């Protein structure tokens, strides 16, 4: 009773031990290392040192980044509070993903795996402690979590389900020790692939169950129906690739066999992967590879045709659109840029080596499309591996410098739109133009630097993060990378955009990891 009275009349001069501790709604995260005592048994000092390092380098900064507060750490665990459920769960995912990276370099028995539980509850927060049922539930969630996973309560799920893009698997209601009501538990699946897996497992289970039920209704009209068969047929959605026509280069035909498994496998990055091993590094002259490797159908990789660009200074931007302002002077060092956007044939060499995630459809000499900025990195990583040259995306400044070809006019050929100069919507009708695919690369005239399709054709990813205008842009031609990089710059405009997008100064942006049917890229190389 006395305690309640004290709450109504709080004493002045905060910090005194008698002052009531305020209650608040908070998101509580509990984490601990799975099998900690086992690890301590194996290597006490080493485990302790590694755990301290992980706390300092992964857990603490990640919590701070997500506007949380680390309330306390115990031997192998920690408790943190957050104001936002979205931030808390994101933080959990980031910690788990960082741990995957950390564990990659140590033997499996020594891997440190966090179990993380997140709950939303009304708690009492002290300076270095937090009390209440809400905390207990978070700790229990953590206790039942599979190592490496984040489990959340129904309350958190309700808050984040439409805000945080990842999968959630319901694990049903769980009775939790010392808590009267059962707690609804969800497993967070940050990786869409994992989500699909569980979906599929559930689907299979469902189909099996359904089939049994169907069979049980013997004598019904539906007896012959087999849903399992129907489902598979319905899945093939994409149109078949057009028949391959004779290509300009003959060596690649074998590479386009639709064998590339779309599975995301880390094989491609391993230098010892059998496919990659059979590529010999091509020389600039395109010398034929040594037939030393077994006579499999693996092709030699032809390097992209590059144009050597001189260094120079130019005025970047224009006054036509707010995003292109202010016009500013940029100095560019000499570099090389591919004469054409990366083609379907080139992309599919990467796909055939299982280094690129999907096999592109369409004419071999059409630019590859439907690639995200992230996808371009797969291709570049593979290209570097097989050529031993650090191919990269151009910076935005390099792209515009190259597209201008030494001119400062609206288009590289002048201030007026001219027929037959670029592959854009309503610009000009050419025989090979279609609404669904861009024209083959090199179908239009090159600019003064000898570069084709710098404007129109396909949108082209560059290295830079998106910034809404050039306030604060670098002036040395380097990519502008600060800021949050959820979105990267695209240049050139596509065959589906009108003439204003063909201007070398035009710029736009798109979500980094998202594919869109008009987006492609070209590659650059520093000398």
Partner 1 sequence: MKLVRLVMLGMVLAAASSYAAFAQGTPAPKDAALYFIWPLDGATLKGAFWCRFGLRNMGVTHAGDTFPNSGHHHLLIDVNEPIDSKEPIPQDKSHLHFGAGQTETRLELAPGKHTLQLVLGDAKHYPFNPPLISKKITITVK
User: Residues, the chain, total?
Assistant: 527
Kindly state whether residue 484 participates in binding partner 1, applying the rule CB under 8 A: no
Residue 307 tokens read as 């144009």
Closest to 383 in 3D by CA, of 368, 402, 370: 368
CA angle 33, 175, 165 (to 5 degrees): 60
The piece of 5-13, 28-36, 309-317, 511-519 that touches partner 1 (CB under 8 A) is 511-519
Q: Does 496 contact partner 1 by CB under 8 A?
A: yes
Phi-psi region of 84 (alpha: psi -120 to 50; beta: other; left: phi over 0): beta
Query: How many CB atoms neighbour CB 223 within 10 A?
Result: 11
Q: Does 60 bind partner 1 (CB under 8 A)?
A: no
Measured from the CB of residue 195, what is the shortest distance to partner 1 in angstroms?
8
Site membership for partner 1, residue 201 (CB under 8 A)? no
Of 212-220, 274-282, 300-308, 470-478, the window that binds partner 1 (rule: CB under 8 A) is 212-220
Binder of partner 1 out of 53, 67, 72, 161 (CB under 8 A)? 161
Distance in Å, CB of 356 to partner 1, minimum:
15
> In the numeric block, which tokens belong to residue 96?
């788990």
DSSP 8-state symbol, 81: E
Burial class (CB in 10 A: 0-12, 13-18, 19+), 17: exposed
With binding defined as CB under 8 A, does residue 302 bind partner 1? no
Segment interacting with partner 1, rule: CB under 8 A, options 2-10, 59-67, 103-111, 156-164: 156-164
Nearer to partner 1, 248 or 468 (CB): 468
Q: Does 64 help bind partner 1 (rule: CB under 8 A)? A: no
- The distance of closest approach from Cβ of residue 217 to partner 1 in the complex, given in angstroms and rounded to an integer, is 6
Q: Are strands 519-521 and 68-73 parallel, antiparallel or unpaired?
A: unpaired
> Taking CB under 8 A as the criterion, which residues in 215-254 touch partner 1?
216-217, 222, 227, 230-231, 234-235, 237
Of 169, 171, 224, 176, nearest to 198 by C-alpha is 169
User: SS3 for 188?
Assistant: strand
Picking from 138, 132, 83, the residue whose alpha carbon sits closest to that of residue 116 is 138
Of residues 431-470, those binding partner 1 (CB under 8 A): 435, 459
Sole binder of partner 1 in the list 86, 94, 214, 433 (CB under 8 A)? 214
Spatial separation of the C-alpha atoms in residues 210 and 208, rounded to whole Å = 5
| Alpha-carbon distances, residue 43 vs 40, 52, 109, 163, 436 (angstroms) | 5, 14, 11, 42, 61
Task: Identify the helix (H) or strand (E) that includes residue 103.
Answer: helix 85-103
Rule CB under 8 A: say whether 165 interacts with partner 1.
yes
Among positions 206, 244, 277, 319, the unique one binding partner 1 when judged by CB under 8 A = 206
- Among 163, 201, 202, 248, contact with partner 1 (rule: CB under 8 A): 163
User: Is residue 392 a contact partner of residue 525, using CB atoms and an 8 Å limit?
Assistant: yes
- Quick one: how far is CA 192 from the chain centroid? 11
Nearer to partner 1, 15 or 239 (CB): 239
Cβ of residue 497: shortest distance to partner 1, in angstroms? 5
In whole angstroms, the minimum distance from the beta carbon of 437 to partner 1 comes to 13
Instruction: Judge whether 369 and 276 are in contact, CB under 8 Å.
Output: no
The span from the CA of 424 to the CA of 63, in Å, is 47
49 scored as a contact of partner 1 (CB under 8 A)? no
Residue 338 to residue 461: CA distance in whole angstroms: 13
Of residues 312-371, which lie at the interface with partner 1 (CB under 8 A)? 321
Decide whether 40 or 214 has the Cβ nearer to partner 1: 214
413 near partner 1, rule: CB under 8 A:
no
Closest separation between CB of residue 234 and partner 1, Å? 4
**Contact at 8 Å (CB) between 99 and 82?**
no
Residue 360: CB minimum distance to partner 1, A: 15
Show the tokens assigned to 511.
Answer: 């979500």
Give the span between the Cα atoms of 399 and 471, in whole angstroms: 18
Q: Which stretch binds partner 1 (CB under 8 A): 32-40, 122-130, 289-297, 493-501?
A: 493-501
Residue 50's CB is within 10 A of a number of other CB atoms, namely 17
Asked whether the beta carbons of 82 and 66 are under 8 A apart, the reply is yes
User: At closest approach, how far in Å is the CB of 32 from partner 1?
Assistant: 30
Supply the minimum distance, in Å, between the C-beta of residue 255 and partner 1: 25
510 binds partner 1 (CB under 8 A): yes
- Give the shortest CB-126-to-partner 1 separation in angstroms: 35
Q: Site size for partner 1, by CB under 8 A?
A: 40
Binding site for partner 1 (CB under 8 A): 161-163, 165, 167, 192, 195, 199, 206-207, 210, 213-214, 216-217, 222, 227, 230-231, 234-235, 237, 321, 435, 459, 486, 494, 496-497, 501, 508, 510-518
């Amino acid at each position: 009773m006395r305690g309640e009275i004290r709450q109504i009349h709080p004493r002045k001069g905060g910090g005194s031990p008698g002052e009531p501790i305020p209650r608040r709604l908070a998101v509580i995260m509990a984490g601990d290392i799975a099998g900690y005592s086992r690890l301590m048994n194996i290597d006490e000092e080493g485990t302790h040192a590694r755990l301290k390092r992980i706390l300092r380098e992964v857990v603490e900064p990640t919590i701070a980044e997500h506007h949380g507060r680390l309330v306390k750490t115990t031997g192998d665990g920690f408790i943190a509070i957050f104001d936002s459920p979205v931030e808390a769960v994101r933080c959990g995912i980031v910690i788990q993903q960082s741990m995957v990276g950390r564990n990659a370099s140590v033997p499996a028995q020594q891997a440190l795996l966090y179990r993380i539980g997140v709950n939303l509850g009304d708690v009492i927060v002290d300076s270095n402690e937090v009390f209440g049922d809400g905390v207990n539930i978070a700790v229990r969630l953590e206790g039942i979590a599979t190592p490496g996973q984040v489990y959340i309560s129904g309350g958190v799920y309700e808050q984040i389900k439409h805000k945080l893009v990842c999968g959630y698997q319901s694990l049903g209601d769980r009775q939790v020790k010392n808590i009267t009501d059962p707690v609804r538990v969800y497993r967070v699946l940050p990786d869409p692939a994992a989500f699909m897996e569980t979906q599929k497992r559930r689907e299979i289970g469902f189909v099996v169950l359904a089939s049994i039920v169907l069979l049980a209704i013997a004598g019904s009209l539906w007896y012959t129906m087999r849903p399992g068969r129907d489902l598979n047929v319905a899945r093939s959605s994409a149109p078949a690739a057009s028949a391959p026509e004779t290509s300009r280069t003959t060596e690649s035909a074998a590479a386009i066999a639709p064998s590339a498994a779309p599975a995301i496998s880390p094989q491609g990055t391993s230098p010892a992967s059998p496919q990659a091993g059979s590529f010999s590094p091509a020389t600039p002259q395109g010398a034929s590879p040594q037939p030393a490797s077994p006579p499999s159908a693996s092709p030699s990789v032809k390097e992209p045709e590059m144009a050597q660009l001189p260094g120079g200074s130019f005025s970047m931007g224009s006054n036509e659109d707010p995003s292109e302002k202010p016009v500013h002077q940029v100095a560019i060092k000499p570099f090389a840029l591919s004469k054409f956007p990366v083609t379907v044939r080139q992309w599919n060499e990467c796909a055939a080596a299982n280094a690129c995630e999907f096999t592109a459809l369409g004419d071999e000499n059409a630019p590859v499309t439907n690639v995200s900025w992230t996808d371009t990195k797969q291709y570049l990583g593979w290209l570097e591996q097989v050529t031993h040259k650090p191919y990269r995306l151009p910076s935005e400044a390099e792209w515009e410098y190259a597209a201008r070809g030494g001119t400062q006019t609206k288009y590289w050929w002048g201030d007026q739109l001219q027929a037959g100069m670029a592959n854009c919507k309503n610009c000009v009708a050419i025989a090979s133009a279609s609404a669904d695919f861009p024209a083959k690369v090199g179908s239009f005239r090159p600019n003064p630097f000898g570069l084709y399709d710098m404007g129109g054709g396909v949108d082209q990813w560059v290295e830079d993060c998106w910034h809404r205008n050039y306030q604060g842009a670098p002036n040395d031609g380097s990519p502008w990378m600060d800021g949050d990089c959820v979105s990267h710059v695209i240049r050139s405009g596509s065959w589906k955009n009108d003439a204003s997008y063909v201007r070398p100064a035009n710029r736009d942006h798109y979500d980094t990891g998202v594919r869109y049917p008009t987006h492609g890229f070209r590659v650059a190389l520093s000398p």
